[in-house]
Amino acid sequence: MAIRNAKIVTVSGPVIAKGTVIVRKGLIEAVGENVTIPADAIIVDGEGMTVYPGLIDALSTVGIPGAAPAAAAGGGGGGRGGRNAAAPAQTAAPAAAAAAPATRSWGPEDRPQTTSWLVAADELQAGDRRVETVRGSGITTAVTFPTRGIFAGQGSIIDLVSGEKAAEMVLVPEAGQYISLGGGGRGGGGGGGGGFPSSLMGTISYIRQLYLDADHYKLVKDAYAKDPRGMQRPEYDRALEGLLASKRILIPANQLLEIDRMLRFGAELKQPMILYGAREAYRPEAIELLKKANTTVLLSLRWPTAPARAAASADGEDTNESLRTLIERDQAPTAPAALQKAGIKFALYSDGQDTPRDFQRAVKKAIDNGLSRDEALRALTLSPAQIYGIADRVGSIEKGKIANLVVTKGEIFDDRTTVVMVFVDGKKYNPGETAAPGGRGGAAATDDPGPGGKR
């Protein structure tokens, strides 16, 4: 298959004003200005269109039906996704809290809210309708995570193909352990049946204990493997196995205070770490900390929004919001530009904003607040690919890489731009035609979102 006469934004190299991309067996066979189109190729005329690499959502729950959309739960800040979801409130119970423990936990030994051994790839369902909705935004690849509990399990990198078998979607099965801190959503009360941990400090101490246990477990296991004679056998512990199998951890932090707290905590855990959420990354102090720690950041595209009542009221009498909250709302979308300027490695993630309209608007807001269009694209293609170590197969339009492509009319992320075609693993999808209502986002993945986009 060949797309010809199109503008090609390769991301890794210069923009090709008019060129051709050849796709064969799911891979990019060739790309360039003067590429000979094989005789057997199906030709797509790209006149007036632009080809981009498929977008990568660096933190998602797509493909795992029943999972709540991932949310930056930095001591709160969760909330369920969907287009009408309220702005992330600091105190909102995160998705994890919904998973009530089957039995009461009496301490770290009970491994509360822990499914660290889960791998998203094993939980995937090929029929998840969100796949199609999300693909409508031009997202071809997602790093999808189980998100319930404190140690939710490992995320997997998947291509958003619609197929019979979920296994076809998997690019990399183990992409890192998803940690959330919101499990202690009971306000740290008197402990009437809540179970451990019931507070943030409880959750932190549990995570610390589990990594200490994992270190010790490994030590004992290795010693036993060397010479079991005369030694009590170490008890198998799947929670610790899950930790040891994870090559990186994702930790939430939104406010400057949380960023500071989690950078310190992450250093203590001695695990390769990615910080997710990062709402206050616009603050110079936060930038300085992130830069100093040489941290990788996944920045949520769910910008804080004004509560509905503030909008409804005609005069300024309505709000007892703090100046700080107002500043945060005003400044949050400048965070990507600030990260870019500081040279901090970051990627953007949709944070449950599934519909093309919501997604496009969220990215556009970052661009309107100083992020260059090129960097916005990079933060949704090559940067996440590099962060997850898969830049050798996705993230840009290069010979030999997986044929994940987005073809648009107009510049990507503009509100009047149309996503004409999406290629995943070389398979062509036309968002407009195949859209079916009833995806998780509650709306069809159409080029024109049409009515019902009111927040």
Partner 1 sequence: MKKIILGTLLALAPLCADTIVIQNATVMTEGPKGIFKGSVVVKDGKISEIGEKVMVPQGATIIEAGGKFLIPGIIDCHSHIAGSGGINEGSVSVSSMVNIKDIINSDDIAIYRALAGGVTTANILHGSANSIGGQTLPLKMRWGKSAQELIFVGAMPGIKFALGENPKRSGNPQGGRGAGATTPTARYPATRMGVEDVIREAFNDAKGYKADWDAYDAEVAKGMHPIPPRVDLKLQALKEVLENKRYVHVHCYRADEILMMIRAADDNGFKVRTFQHVLEGYKVAKEIAAHGAGASTFSDWWAYKIEAIDAIPFNAALMTKKGVVVSLNSDDAELMRHLNTEAGKAMKYGGMTETEALAMVTINPAKQLGIDKTVGSIEEGKDADLVLYDGFPMSDFAKVEKVWIDGTQYFDREKEIAAQATKEAEKKKLLDKEKAAQQKTQPTRRPNQ
What is the contact surface with partner 1 in residues (CB under 8 A)? 75-76, 104-108, 181, 184, 187-206, 208-209, 212-213, 216, 219-220, 223, 255, 257-258, 260-261, 264-265, 285, 306, 310-311, 316, 319-320, 322-324, 326-327, 329-330, 448, 450-451, 453-454
Closest approach of partner 1 to the CB of residue 121, in Å = 32
Give the residue with the Cβ less far from partner 1, 66 or 451.
451
Q: How far is CA 186 from CA 95, 98, 99, 105, 338, in A?
A: 13, 12, 13, 14, 35
Closest CB to partner 1 among residues 46, 112: 112
Smallest distance, partner 1 to C-beta of residue 311, A = 6
121 and 170 in contact (C-beta within 8 Å)?
yes
Q: In terms of CB distance, is 13 or 452 closer to partner 1?
A: 452
Minimum CB distance to partner 1, residue 309 (Å)? 13
Separation in Å, CA 327 to CA 30, 149, 259, 307:
48, 31, 18, 14
- Between residues 107 and 400, which has the closer beta carbon with respect to partner 1? 107
Nearer to partner 1, 222 or 392 (CB): 222
By beta-carbon proximity to partner 1, the closer residue of 45 and 285 is 285
Question: Where do we find the tokens 């660290």?
Answer: 116
What are 376's two structure tokens?
Answer: 């916005």
Q: Which is nearer to partner 1, 65 or 307 (CB)?
A: 307
Closest C-alpha to 438, from 55, 130, 105? 130
The least CB distance from residue 140 to partner 1, in Å, is: 26
We find the least distance from the C-beta atom of residue 282 to partner 1, in angstroms, to be 13
Among residues 34 and 322, whose Cβ is nearest to partner 1?
Answer: 322
Residue 197: cis peptide before it, omega within 30 degrees of 0 = yes
* Nearest-approach distance from CB 450 to partner 1, in angstroms: 6
The token duo for 190 is 């008197």
The CB-of-86 to partner 1 minimum distance in angstroms stands at 16
From the CB of 181, what's the least distance to partner 1, in Å? 8
